[in-house]
């Protein structure tokens, strides 16, 4: 009798830190733990897509070095100035960055892919700019879904999918465990990234980032608290720990980030294995 448990991997938002998912993926492969589906949010959605494609870990590392470079911020400084002196008019489709660079980078890797081409089913989370609702994308062009999920407001222009203007999935859910639950997960391996707090403030942007971090970290904590209590599924949180601050374009630190991801995954491994070996709960 086949009573295998459904394992869902959730990779939350966290920018370049999401490369830690490569370390987690290596551990799962070595231990022969099969993943039945994947959920990704913001930066985490790129890695979830690569895992869903069974991309080799070495290739994933290479792709990471190509994506997290400062040229994705093309036009930011000029546009910021122009928005202040009024020469740049803003509307609901605006952002301070000229997104042709990030679009091209995403197209180069994911441009040809559809969700249906992936080896493992994938769900990508974004946020509806107008209603604030979480939007789960799981069909059609992968590029559109990833671009939407990555659209950090103010920086990148929102992205339209099926008539809705979408922004960064992190705004509605930095770690979308509920999407995994709705898809019938028995075991959820959830990799999340709390944001760093600042000690010093040198500009208004720093203050806004701090407020953003406070909100998101409190959302992250209450998400864990809720699902621990609700206990719809076994949830294994994987929170990589970093000794130093990893900033947005620290590509030199990618090997360290991956290693931290691996370490955090190994810590939970005995519990995950034990859970997978025990017979599934029978209901009814």
Using the contact rule CB under 8 A, the part of the chain among 12-20, 29-37, 223-231, 275-283 near another protein is: 223-231
Tell me, by CB under 8 A, how many residues bind another protein. 45
Give 22's contacts (C-beta < 8 A, 6+ positions apart). 47, 57, 60, 61, 64, 258, 261
Please provide the size of the chain in residues: 284
Give the range of 13-21, 86-94, 102-110, 234-242 binding another protein by CB under 8 A.
86-94
| DSSP conformation class of 197 | P
Beta carbon nearer to another protein, 53 or 127: 127
Distance CA 22, CA 97 (A): 28
Q: Is 208 in the site for another protein (CB under 8 A)?
A: yes
Q: How far apart are CA 67 and CA 15, in angstroms?
A: 10
Of the candidate spans 6-14, 43-51, 140-148, 164-172, the one that interacts with another protein by CB under 8 A turns out to be 164-172
Q: What is the dihedral of CA 145, 148, 150, 153, to 10 degrees?
A: -170
127 binds another protein (CB under 8 A): yes
> Please, which residue, 154 or 251, has the CB nearer to another protein?
154
- Which of 173, 186 has the CB closer to another protein? 173
Work out whether 222 is an interface residue with another protein (CB under 8 A): yes
Structure tokens belonging to residue 67: 């994506």
Closest distance of CB 62 from another protein, Å: 32
* Cα–Cα distance measured from residue 271 to residue 234, given in angstroms and rounded to the nearest whole number: 10
Residues 42-61 binding another protein (CB under 8 A) are none
Q: Does 89 bind another protein (CB under 8 A)?
A: yes
Residues 6+ apart with CB under 8 A from 284: none
Decide if residue 81 touches another protein (CB under 8 A): no
- 142 alpha-carbon distance from chain centroid: 14
- Confirm or reject binding of residue 92 to another protein (CB under 8 A): yes
Convert residues 180-199 into a mask of x (bound to another protein by CB under 8 A) and - (unbound).
-----------------xxx
> What's the rounded Cα separation, in Å, for the pair 212 and 233?
29
Stretch that binds another protein, among 60-68, 70-78, 115-123, 208-216 (CB under 8 A): 208-216
Q: Which of 6, 103, 136, 212 binds another protein (CB under 8 A)?
A: 212
115-119 — which CB contacts under 8 Å span 24+ positions? 115/139, 115/140, 115/142, 115/145, 117/53, 117/142, 118/49, 118/52, 118/53, 118/142, 119/52, 119/53, 119/54
Binding range to another protein, per CB under 8 A, among 52-60, 207-215, 244-252, 271-279: 207-215
């Amino acid at each position: 009798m086949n009573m295998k448990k459904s394992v869902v991997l959730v990779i939350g938002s966290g920018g370049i830190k999401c490369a830690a998912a490569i370390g987690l993926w290596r551990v799962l492969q070595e231990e022969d733990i099969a993943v039945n589906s994947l959920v990704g949010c913001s930066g985490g959605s790129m890695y979830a897509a690569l895992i869903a494609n069974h991309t080799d870990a070495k290739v994933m590392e290479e792709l990471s070095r190509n994506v997290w470079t400062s040229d994705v911020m093309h036009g930011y400084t000029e546009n910021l100035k122009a928005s202040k002196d009024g020469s740049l008019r803003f509307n609901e489709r605006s952002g301070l960055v000229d997104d042709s660079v990030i679009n091209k980078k995403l197209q180069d890797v994911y441009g040809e892919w559809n969700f249906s081409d992936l080896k493992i089913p994938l769900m990508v989370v974004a946020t509806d700019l107008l209603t604030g609702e979480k939007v789960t994308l799981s069909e059609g062009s992968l590029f559109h879904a990833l671009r939407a999920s990555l659209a950090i407001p103010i920086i990148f222009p929102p992205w339209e999918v099926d008539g809705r203007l979408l922004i960064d999935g992190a705004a509605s859910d930095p770690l979308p465990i509920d999407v995994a639950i709705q898809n019938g997960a028995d075991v959820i391996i959830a990799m999340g990234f709390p944001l760093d707090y600042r000690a010093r403030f040198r500009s208004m942007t720093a203050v806004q980032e701090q407020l953003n971090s406070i909100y998101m970290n409190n959302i992250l904590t209450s998400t864990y608290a809720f699902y621990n209590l609700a206990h719809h599924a076994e949830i294994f949180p994987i929170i990589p720990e970093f000794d130093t601050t990893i900033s947005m374009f620290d590509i030199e630190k990618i090997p360290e980030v991956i290693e931290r991801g691996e370490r955090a995954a190994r810590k939970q491994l005995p519990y995950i294995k034990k859970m997978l070996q025990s017979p599934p709960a029978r209901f009814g």
